[in-house]
Structure 1
């Protein structure tokens, strides 16, 4: 008489529960697939951030009221990729190494890599060498402050900055008269009384000018918080500024645009 116990294993396709070891392997496999999917998504986001649109966290009030502390802005990295350069009025993010920061601070490479990845996703403050400012002068422009009306002049034309200037601020408490070298930018914050910008580096190497090649991209959108979701419209403040090498001659002391015409700037206009 056959006394062997009957075989009780059931077909797995019938829905019988898996053994402990098999369940463990199945869970590990599921977590592995989820981890690979998450890694792939992270790599895709980082690549998108590196070449197309990058979020930046605004850490200070130097660009108020346009940008608030804690805003996550989206920087268009394609804006200046195809033979297009920054224009007056653009709000840009740039690497200030060599212009605003002469020597970048030393940091642990691993910590720097992790911080850079977090900053690239808008989860951490940008590097200490990254800045966001508004372009006021481009290569060849003569930028002066201030005219008799207390306004910034670009190529002899007074600029009405009231639309974006911080309420109560003057265009500049620091007088200056500069010509922007080709391939560089003169930039200023919208909160002039609370912004360290080109004016603060007039005596440094480079004279406060930012090389166009150091521009990361143009701030086109505010992405967070949701209540501030919007696109940054062009201010139009520089619409009537004449081309570099020309200056605006105005009647009387009004400093305005009325009764004006563009004529070649005289020699020695660098001031």
Structure 2
């Protein structure tokens, strides 16, 4: 009798199996594989899912890190760069071990001004031979990468940092009857930035700054090998504007000494153009 037929989940030959609407097959993927992704994790087809998620997370992390490094490199190349202060020639404005941020917009976008603190590459002979810090090969490689992208201050032996006293065409002399430096015939009061106890210069000088050059001095006047003492080197003691890497605008380390480095514009306010 028909009522005694056993119950079965096999479709009758007379009644085609209806399509499965809850989990449609993915385009180009067999239905059995598509359904396996919806069986609550059962079956061998679902087992690689955690692995795929892990690879996806690793890939996203790599993209984020790479993007951050590229962005850091662009910022360092176009906007700002960190530098480490290795000597006391700019004391007390900058101390040994300070980290300063330097604007790369100077001099390509913004002009160099009297009073700016600038980082520049050695015109030649200003610095002694550089002795890099001792590191393992791995440490050296890591330091090179971090310095390249701007995450570590540059420690190269061919950069100096000084204050601009004379720009192209300026006539700089020292010292007048009051012991002060004069720029274009006007005495400047440098008490706001030279190291307490220093004098503007213990040695006299009388220079006209050539076109495309700068006359620079350290704030620690009695302990700075600057334009006054490099006459016999390339440039005659002057710094080519093209050698300027940028203008220091902030001390960022140590945190207790973090401060903005403002141009002392009032010091040169009365100086006429040459």
- Seen in structure 2, the aligned counterparts of structure 1 residues 113 and 198 have a Cα distance that, compared at 3 Å, is farther
Check whether the contact 1:73–1:221 (CA below 8 A) recurs between aligned residues: yes
Structure 1 residue 14: deviation in Å? 2.9
Contact 2:123 / 2:235 at 8 angstroms: preserved in 1? no
Listed as ranges, the gaps of 5+ residues in structure 1 are 1-8, 245-271
What is residue 270 of structure 2 aligned with on the other side? 240
- Of structures 1 and 2, the larger Rg is shown by 2
Worse overlay, 174-183 or 112-121: 112-121
Show the counterpart of 1:205: 234
Taking structure 1 as the reference length, what is the TM-score of the superposition? Answer: 0.73
SS of the equivalent of 1:202 reads coil
User: Partner of 1:32 in structure 2?
Assistant: 59
Deviations 1:69-113 (A, max 9, x none): 22222211124323x42111111111124473599999xxx9699
CA contact (8 A) 1:99 1:206 kept: no
User: Which residue of the partner structure matches residue 62 of structure 1?
Assistant: 89
Q: 2:112 aligns with which of 55, 72, 86?
A: 86
Distance 1:243 1:40 in 2: 46
| TM score, norm. by length of structure 2 | 0.73
1: distance between equivalents of 2:87 and 2:179?
A: 26
Q: Which runs of 5+ in 2 are unaligned?
A: 1-34, 133-137
Count, aligned residues: 232
**Cα distance between partner residues in 1 of 2:151 and 2:177:** 42
* 1:83-232 to 2 correspondences below 5 Å: 84-98=110-124, 100=126, 115=144, 117-118=146-147, 121=150, 123-232=152-261
CA distance in 2, matches of 1:224, 1:105: 23
